[in-house]
Structure 1
Amino acid sequence: MIEQALHTGTADGRVGTDDVPIRTKLWCTLLMVIFASFSNLMQVAFTALTTTPDTLYYIWCVLCTLLALPSGLLLTLRTNRPVLTFWAACVCCSILPFDSLMAMMALTAMIARRDSKNLTLGGIAATAAVSVWCQLRDVMRPPDVSLWQAIFTKNGTGATYGTEPELIIGKPAIAGIAIACAAIGVALSVLIGLQIRQRAITSAATAKADAAQNTVVLLKHDLDSQQFADALAAEAHDTLAHSLSLLALNASALQATTNHLQANLDPANTPDVVRQDVSSIAATAQDIRKQAAGALDEAHTIIDTLRHPEQAAALFTPTCETSLTRASLNALVDDARAAGMRIDSWIDIRDLSSLSDKTSKTAYRAVQEALTNARRHAMGATVALQVDAAPDRGIHIHVSNQSGNHHRNQQSAPRSAARPAAPAATATAVDSAPATSGAPTAAHTPATCATPAHGSTPASNRNSSTTAPNHDSGNANHNSNANRTGEGLAGLAARVRQLHGTCAYGFDDHRIFHVDVTLPWAPQAALAQPRLR
C-alpha cells in the first residue's frame, strides 16, 4: 500500500498533476508545531519515568527528548513536500516514543494538498496503523509510565501514594478505548483535509469562472468595438470619401475652366494682374485636387484600419523593411526622391545589431514621418536629412526644409513683386505640444545638417541633391497645410516619449521647418539576456 501511494508522487515527494493550491497560514503552522512538539515531549517524558542513569535505555530516552523538542518543525515542510513530510512523520512516530498527533496533522496536510485517491487511501491506512501502534504501545507499558493507564487509575493509588496502582477498568478495555480514539483522530484528520481541499478547489474553480467571465466580457466589448468600427468605417466611406471625391472632381473642373480661360485671354487687352490671378486660381485648383486625392487615400487607409485592425497591428511589428538599417533608409530616401522630393542625406549609423527592435522601428518611423510631412507641406523644397546612431551617443534624427510658402515666394518673386506678401506664421512644438508660435530652441534645431554630429565620420558619402519635377502649390492652401502641420508628428512624439526620448518640431526665424528626434540606445542583449543567479 505504501509503495502504491508513493508511486503516484515524484521522487522528492511532490505530485505534479494532483497539486491543490493551498495557502498556508503562519498562525496555523505555529499552532501545529507547538502541539506536535508538546505531545511528543509528553510521551517521551512518561516513557522515561522509570529509567535509571548509566543505562542504554536512559541514553535512548535523553536522545528522544532532544529530538522531541524540535520534532514539530517537520510540519513546516508540508507546504512544498506534503508527501515526504507525511511519511517522515509516520516513521518518527513508529520508531521513536512519540505521539501519533504529528502523523495525523501530516495526513491532513497531505490530503488537503494532493488530490489523489491512491495517495489518500494509502495515507489513511498508514496513519491508522501508526496511531493504533502508538496507543497500544502506551497501554502495554507499566502503569506508572503509561498515559492511558494513568487516566484510568483510582485516586489514592499508584507510586505517588506508595501503593500499587489500581485500574478502574481492565487493560483490554483501555486498549479498546485507545484504539477507538485513534480511529476518531484519523477520521477527523481525513475530514479536515478533505474539507480544506474542497474549499481550495472551489476557490480555484470560482477564480477560473471569474476569469472566464471577464474574458467573455472583454470579447463582447471587442466585438461591440469592432461592430462600432465597422459602422464608423461604412459611414466614413459613404460620407467622407464621397465628399472628398466630389471635392477632387470640382477642383479638376475648376482647373480645366481656368486653363481654358487662360488660353482664351488676349495678352494685349488683359491686365497683368488678371492674368496672374487666373494663373494663381489654376495653381490653387491643382493643389486642391492633389490634396483631395491624397486625403481620399488617407481616408481609405483609415477605413481599412477600422475594418481590419489585425492587419493594422502588423504595421507596428518590426521588420527588416521598417527597422533602422542602412538598406531601409536608402530605400526610404530613394522612394521619396522618386516621388519628386529633393533630399540631401547624411547617414552615420553603427552597431545596429545590438539595438532593440522597438527603438529601431521608432527611429525608422521618425525618419519616415518627417519626410512625409515635408512632402505634404513643402513639396519641391530641398530637404536636409541627418541620421546619427551609435551605442555611446544614442540616436539623433534631424530633418529640415523650407516652408512651402517661402519656397513658392522664391519661385514666383518676379510675378508677384508688385503684390505685398502675406505675413508668415511661425509654429513650433516640443514633444507632443501643438504647433503654435515661437521658434524651437537651438538645441533641437541645428542650423545645418552638413556637419556630422559629434565629429563622427559618416558611414556613407553624402548624397548630392537631385532635381525633381517642380509641383507648384497655392499660397492659401499651403497656409492651411501649415496650420495642420504636426498631426502625424504629435503621434510620433508620443511614441518617442514612451521610449524616454525627445521630439521637437517647428519653424525657426528663417522660416525653416525642423524635426529633431533623440532616442536613448536600448541594447537588444539587455532586453533578451536572462538574469544570472
Structure 2
Amino acid sequence: MSAWHSDIGMFWSLIGLVTGAALPFLLRERDEKPEFVCLIVAIVTICLPISPLTALMTQSALIARREPDRRIYGLIALSSAATVISRLRDALMPAEYSIIGTMLSSTNDQGDVIHAASRQGMLLAGLLLAVISIAIAVIVGVANRNTSRAQRAQRQAAQQQDRAQMLQSDLASQQLADAIATEAHDTLAHSLSLIAVNASALQVQCGTLTAGNITDQQVHDIAQRAEDIRKQAAGALDEAHSIIDLLRNPNKARQTLGPGDATSLSRESLSSLIAEARGAGAHIDTWIDIQDMGAIDPDVTKIAYRTVQEGLTNARRHAPGQPIELEVTCSAAHGINVHISNPTGIQAPEHTADNGNGIKAEREPMGGPAGGNGLRGIRERVAAVGGTCTWGTDKRSVFHLEVSLPPRSVQRQPGAA
C-alpha cells in the first residue's frame, strides 16, 4: 500500500487485499462451474494487485475437469496471462515493496534493502516465476485429469464386470430352465404316451365286447390294462412332482439333471425302456450291440438314452400299431449310433426333399403342428456334443431317426441333460 503514495493507491490496495482474501472461496464451485470460476478469478487477478495463486488453482481445476477445446484453451490462456501480469506487476514495484525484489536484493538485519536488484533482473525473474507457476499448474491439472479418467475407467470396468456376472447368472439360469424343460418333456411325454396307448387299447378292447358274452380272459386283459394305466399315471404324477421339486431347488437340480444309472445307455435301462413300450402294445425289433461303455462320456450316453426314449415315444404317438425297428451300437472307437424306423402308413408328399439315400430329410413327424419339438430338442443336444441327428421319411413312407454321437463330448453345456 505504501508504494502507491496516494489515497487512490491505498484504497485500491485495500480492495485487492479484501478481494484476494475472499477470492479462494470461489474454488468451492470449481467442480460444477470451472469455466466461470477461472474466468472471474483471472479477470480479478489482472485488475487488482493480488497474487496469482488462486488463478493458478482455478486453471489447474479447469484442466482436470474439462476436455480440451477452443473455449478451454482460451480460458487457460487468459489465466496464464493473469499470472504473467501479476508477476510482472510485482517485479515493476520498487525492490523494498516487491516480493521478487526482496528475494533478489540484499537486506540488512532490520530488513532494509542494501543492494537492490536491477529492474531487468526483476522482470526476468518475474517472467520465469510465472512460467514455472503456469507449468506446475498445467502438470497438476493433467495429472488430476488422468487420475480421474483412470478411476472412472475402473468404475466402468467394475460395472461391466457386474453386468457380465449378472448376464452369466441369467444365462446359467436360462440353461438350467431349458434343461428342466427338456427333462420334463423327456419323462412326462414318455409316460403320458404310454398312458394314451394303453387307454386307446383299452377302448378298443371294450368296443369288441358284447353284452352278456364276456370271457374270463377278456376280463383279465381289461383289468391288466387298467392296472397298467394306473401304474403309469402314478409314475407320471411322481415325475411331475420331481420336475416341480427341480424348479424349487435349482442347486439340487444341477446334480439331478446329470447322468445317472437310470438314464445311461446300459442293457438294463434299454431293456426296461423297451419292455414298457412292448407292454403298451408296441411291436419292436431290436439290434443292440454295446461295447466299452465305460470309455464313453456319461453325458453322451444319456443323450443316446434320451434319443431312444424320444424315438419310441414319437413312433407310438404318430404311428400307433406300426412295427418299430431299433438299432443301437456303441464302441469306444466309433461312438454311439442309434437308428429307429417305423412305417407311417401315410404316403409322403412329393415335394419333400430327398437327401440322396432315399430318405426325405428333416420332414416333420406325422401328427400336425404339435409334433417335432422332441426331435428338435434331441438334435440340439446331439449337436452340442459334436454329433449329428437326421430324420425323415423314405420313398416307402417309412420314418427314420438316425443319431451319431462321438465317444467324448466336444462341447459341454452347463445343465445339459
TM-score, normalization by structure 2: 0.47
TM-score, normalization by structure 1: 0.38
